[in-house]
Amino acid sequence: MARILVTGGTGYIGSHTTVELMQQGYDVVIIDNLSNSTSDVLDGIEAIVGTRPAFEQVDCNDAQAVADVFTKYTDIQGVIHFAASKAVGESVEQPLMYYRNNLMSLVTLLEQMKAHNVHNIVFSSSCTVYGQPAEEHLPVDETAPIQVALSPYGNTKQINEEIIRDEAHANTQLHATILRYFNPIGAHPSAMIGELPNGVPQNLLPFVTQTAIGLRPELKVFGDDYNTPDGSCIRDYIYVVDLAKAHVKAVERMLNHQAKEQVEVFNLGTGRGLSVLEILNTFMQVTGVKVPYQIVGRREGDIEQVWAKPDKANNVLGWKADTPIEDVLLSAWRWEQKIRS
Ligand code: WQD
């Protein structure tokens, strides 16, 4: 069976994707510099799958180390590139670190893929490339205009996509699938892997679960004066396991030479927008846990509302994110309880 190289595979989405790949019979080698994750995640993957993925502690910016991985694992037929810095706020404070890390790691990876005759890459992108879509572009599909990025993090995703397109134009052997994620949430149903935010969570759901378990005194809801039904921001919250499954579909499509273009782009969302307050209230309903919260001012850089039109991924990849939000929120709660037990 083919082997897939998963960069950033001990991270949140990378670990869930590794599980789905292995359960579909793929061999996996993870490279990760463990700057934002720990190798304990490998134990969780092994507990779910029954076998441990190969792992090399490697920084994607280290060309020789990446080359050595391709030399050691000669059966690599595709790459899924997750490894990147991904905190929006941090990117505003440290733009140069973000540009160096997120851009040069992709360049290094593409150079080493070419040098070792590996021609398939799945790239982890983000709906942030759309910024705040205009009303006529909601729900947002892949033809919606790319807008000026609101953060260096979002800009690195846009530039990464351009790097991939330019390389594909120059190197006709390269096939790339760009997956634009909406808001990944939840944890594997086994509660053996999940989201492990470093320090104070920036994202909504880990903050909700940490408040629910008593680690945080209250959740701050950043604004209820938006032009939305209940005034709070709307996002497309997608179950991380559904998201992981889309990566397997993308790999299969390229390995089976089914891709219609050298570079294909897919929006990965549920197609349903939910507000912060809807998420919060649904969480309290399904868990029976009261989450203290306070409405405060808006967070700088937040967009008002975005959710996906996932028809292309549904029809072309034969994939659908259909896990009920209630189950997704419960999975996040079970994970929080597990890691605090
Ligand atoms: C969601 C909503 C907040 C925390 C970002 C990145 C995106 C991806 C996911 C990496 C917003 C509100 C949040 C809190 C709150 N990251 N919120 N209180 O900003 O949509 O997307 O994370 O790949 O690329 O841009 O996600 O979870 O931070 O916020 O009210 O304590 O929850 O204002 O409306 P976001 P988020």
List pLDDT tens digits, range 8-56.
999 999 999 999 999 999 999 999 999 999 999 999 999 999 999 999 9
Predicted confidence (pLDDT) per residue in 124-138, tens digit: 999 999 999 999 999
pTM of the model: 0.97
pLDDT of residue 275: 98
Any atom of ligand 1 within 6 Å of the Cβ of 180: no
Q: Which residues pair with 98 in a beta bridge?
A: none
Instruction: Point out the ligand 1 atom lying closest to the alpha carbon of residue 126.
Output: 24
Give the pLDDT band (50/70/90) at residue 326.
very high
Q: What's the chain's average pLDDT? A: 97
Percent of the chain residues past pLDDT 70, beyond the cut: 100
Give the pLDDT band (50/70/90) at residue 274.
very high
Any atom of ligand 1 within 6 Å of the Cβ of 207: yes
Q: Does residue 251 have a pLDDT over 90?
A: yes
Any atom of ligand 1 within 6 Å of the Cβ of 233: yes
Our CA angle for 123, 260, 306, nearest 5°, is 50
Q: Does residue 166 have a pLDDT over 90?
A: yes
What number of CA atoms fall less than 13 Å from residue 183's CA on the CB side? Answer: 24
Dihedral of CA atoms 74, 252, 146, 237 in degrees, nearest 10, equals -110
Domain boundaries along the sequence of the chain: 3-184+239-269
Q: How far is the CA of 203 from the centre of ligand 1 (A)?
A: 5
Q: What is the full DSSP assignment across 9-77?
A: TTSHHHHHHHHHHHHTT-EEEEEE--SSS-THHHHHHHHHHSSPPEEEE--TT-HHHHHHHHHH-TTEE
The protein residue whose alpha carbon is closest to atom 10 in ligand 1 is 86
The protein residue whose alpha carbon is closest to atom 30 in ligand 1 is 221
Q: Does residue 123 have a pLDDT over 90?
A: yes
Any atom of ligand 1 within 6 Å of the Cβ of 235: yes
The protein residue whose alpha carbon is closest to atom 13 in ligand 1 is 204
Instruction: Point out the ligand 1 atom lying closest to the alpha carbon of residue 153.
Output: 24
The protein residue whose alpha carbon is closest to atom 27 in ligand 1 is 203
> Is 13:175 a contact under the CB 8 Å cutoff?
no
Q: Which residues are catalytic?
A: 153
Any atom of ligand 1 within 6 Å of the Cβ of 132: no
Any atom of ligand 1 within 6 Å of the Cβ of 158: no
Helix (H) or strand (E) holding 182: none
* Best of 12, 126, 299, 303 for a ligand 1 pocket test (most atoms within 8 Å of beta carbon): 299
pLDDT of residue 128: 95
Q: Which two tokens stand for residue 337?
A: 């309880």
Average pLDDT over every residue of 160-184: 98
Give the pLDDT band (50/70/90) at residue 1.
confident
Q: How far is the CA of 201 from the centre of ligand 1 (A)?
A: 10
Any atom of ligand 1 within 6 Å of the Cβ of 114: no
Percent of the chain residues past pLDDT 90, beyond the cut: 97
Q: Which two tokens stand for residue 16?
A: 């869930």
Any atom of ligand 1 within 6 Å of the Cβ of 124: no
| Best CA proximity match to 283, nearest among 192, 208, 182 | 208
Give the pLDDT band (50/70/90) at residue 198.
confident
Average pLDDT over every residue of 181-193: 98
Q: Does residue 278 have a pLDDT over 90?
A: yes
The 10 Å CB-count burial string (b at 16+, else e) for 145-156 is eebebbbbbbbb
Q: Read off the amino acid at residue 132.
A: Q
* Best of 302, 304, 307 for a ligand 1 pocket test (most atoms within 8 Å of beta carbon): 302
pLDDT of residue 197: 87
* CATH architecture for residues 3-184+239-269: 3-Layer(aba) Sandwich (3.40)
The protein residue whose alpha carbon is closest to atom 6 in ligand 1 is 88
Predicted confidence (pLDDT) per residue in 60-115, tens digit: 999 999 999 999 999 999 999 999 999 888 999 999 999 999 999 999 999 999 99
Q: Does residue 232 have a pLDDT over 90?
A: yes
Helix (H) or strand (E) holding 84: none
Any atom of ligand 1 within 6 Å of the Cβ of 220: yes
Instruction: Point out the ligand 1 atom lying closest to the alpha carbon of residue 157.
Output: 24
